[in-house]
Amino acid sequence: MVKPVAQIRILPPEVAQKIAAGEVIERPASVVKELVENSIDAGATQITVEVRNGGLELIRVQDNGAGIAREDLRIAFEPHATSKIAAVDDLFALYTLGFRGEALPSIASVSRLSLYSRPAEQQTGYKIYNSGSDFVVEPVGTPPGTTVEVRDLFYNVPARRKFLKSPLTERRRVADLISRLALAHPHVSFRLVAEGKPLLSTNGSGRLLDSILLVEGSNVERQLIKFSTSTSWGQIQGYLGSPQMAKGNRSGQVFIVNGRLIENNTLRSALEKAYAGLLPQRSFPWAVLVLEIRSELVDCNVHPAKLEVRFADEQAIFNDTWQAVRSGLTAKNLAPELARPASRSPEPKTVRPAVQTMLRWQPETWEFMDKVLREHKPRTRPAQYAAGAAPEIAVAEEVRSRTQEARVQVQMSPKSGDRELSDDSGEMRQLLRSGRIIGQLHQSYILLETPRGLWILDQHIVHERILVEQFRAEWQNSSIKVQEILPVIVEFTPAEAVLVAGSLDLLAEFGVELEPFGGSSFVLRAVPSFLAHSGGSWKEEILEIAQNAQKTTESRDQALITLACKGAIKAGQYLAEQEMRALLDNLAATENPFTCPHGRPILVRLETDELLRRFGRA
């Protein structure tokens, strides 16, 4: 049966508006973005944003801008009604964030919207709200400026509501957006309130640095690099983070073009190329780049939500941005600084000598080993040995008698005369316990002499494997030992604070006890007992656990690994011989002494046969 051709028809206005809303309004953060940008375009210097239930129940945006005159209220809700452009050429001379006139009608079509507004010269304010298919305008008392209340977002589009994340995630997206808008417009005082609690407040001083410190925390000031460069197309300036501020993702990168927050691969590539060679693998720079470009050289009308722009000369933008960032980085001393805690007076410390100066250094020299081999390895092989029937010749007792420190056991193979030891884990554990500790290499690797040769073990990975198995056993038995510490204030960005606040119970399960301390700060009061002396900042570990705060075995195991890594001995740390012996004994008792929790090898073996071959003694 041939399907009849459908008749072409014009869509009803309500259907067309919902389609338009689908392009512009994806989630609560999209509503907040459109309304705040309208406030900025209206000249507001104070903007307050309030959300409830992640913005699904309520979004309220209040400003002190120019306001909307009574006669313009109804027109403002007509599709493509705007005060910002009048002709096609205006699209290439934009000095406002909005220009399409789609935001208010789109939001109103998928929510219950009320708008209150009063220009300063108008004595009475007015309220407009949608009632069925029409809008109602009523006089109302309201301060100068505009307030928009959006309730029950997507109440009439249940399919769109199903695609949203949890209220916590949506609230975090709003917090991240306001944080970035505060960086893009430091002259505006922003206030964000979520679920009745203030999350962010900026002072609108006009200084980008002030906004950065309010968003990121005052402790990052020493890590910031200010830069500014003039170009043929305009100016690029901002702040770059030192390598110590690098993140495991691109969430720390903010790009602002003519006051507009954007996402742009050209700028991102230029930034990351400028940091090439300065960051570890899979790390991304933190930066706020502010570009002022002549309006005719940038096209903002290329994305439904205005998140992307197109440059007239992408190559010039790339080259100039790369050069500006690289120059800013090379002009700064990027060596990390050891900050002294401000709250404590310096205390004299006893300098601990290197462990090598304390070890009983009695190595078996090559001359000694040559003598042992000459005495016990015949120059010619008797005929009866050719068939592989030679008896094993043990020399361990003689070696042991010649040096009290040696624990070497050399055996001749029945077939070849070469030494062979089985690869079973039981023997490996025995060798870990009985091998002779030579010392440390670069205070990072434990050198262990065994009958097989030289074993090199990464001390951090050894301790990490021990801790993760101990911690896992404690967690499975619900017996994690917690120790109170001196309270530590941990500062987060507003978006991070929302994430942490929603993960407090999970963090407590792992012995990390946090309490809200106002704004985006928390007080760390207790940690697992084996981490009580770890010191340093806990911010990254807390965020990593919170970001994987799913009640699954995999995410919980990742949290255990994160904490074990935090508490493990670090590379560059001196260890006494007794400490190294304790590590090796504990490693031998683990379930998996071969690899770290991330899959990296714990030890590297340099076999004696290989040493003999390389020295031409085989």
* Domain pair 13-205 / 423-618, same fold: no
What local confidence, expressed as pLDDT, does residue 357 receive? 41
Measured in degrees and rounded to the nearest 5, phi and psi for residue 174 equal -65, -45
Strand, coil or helix: 80: coil
DSSP 176-244: HHHHHHHHH-TTSEEEEEETTEEEEE----S-HHHHHHHHH-GGGGGGEEEEEEE-SSEEEEEEEE-GG
- Rg of the chain over Cα atoms, rounded to whole angstroms, equals 34
pLDDT at 377: 43
- CB burial string 463-494: b at 16+ within 10 A, e below: bbbbbbbbbbebbeeeebebeebeeeebbbbb
CA 186, CA 208: separation in Å to the nearest integer?
5
The reported pLDDT for the residue numbered 100 is 63
Q: Which two tokens stand for residue 74?
A: 């109804």
In the prediction, which pLDDT does 375 show? 54
φ, ψ of residue 189 in degrees (nearest 5): -90, 115
Domain residue ranges in the chain:
13-205, 217-330, 355-376+388-420, 423-618
pLDDT reported for residue 307: 75
User: Residues 189, 210: contact at Cβ < 8 Å?
Assistant: no
Beta bridge pairs of residue 235: 230, 292
Rounded CA separation 281/246 (Å): 11
Residue 69 in tokens: 């005159």
Gap between the Cα atoms of 181 and 192, Å rounded = 11
Closest CA to 598 of 544, 555, 562: 562
What pLDDT is stored for residue 414 in this prediction?
Answer: 34
**Assigned architecture for domain 217-330:** 2-Layer Sandwich (3.30)
> Mean pLDDT in runs of 10 for the chain (618 residues)?
66 63 80 94 96 96 95 88 63 65 86 95 93 88 96 90 90 95 96 93 95 92 94 95 89 94 93 90 92 88 71 94 94 60 41 42 47 47 38 36 35 34 68 93 93 92 91 80 86 90 86 88 86 73 76 70 84 91 93 82 88 81
**How many CB atoms within 10 Å of residue 329?**
18
CATH superfamily of 13-205: Histidine kinase-like ATPase, C-terminal domain (3.30.565.10)
Alpha helices in 28-145 (DSSP H): 28-41, 73-76, 103-109
Pairing of strands 287-293, 253-257: parallel
Domain at 423-618, CATH class = alpha beta
Provide the token pair at 60. 């309220």
Question: One-letter amino acid identity for 364?
Answer: E
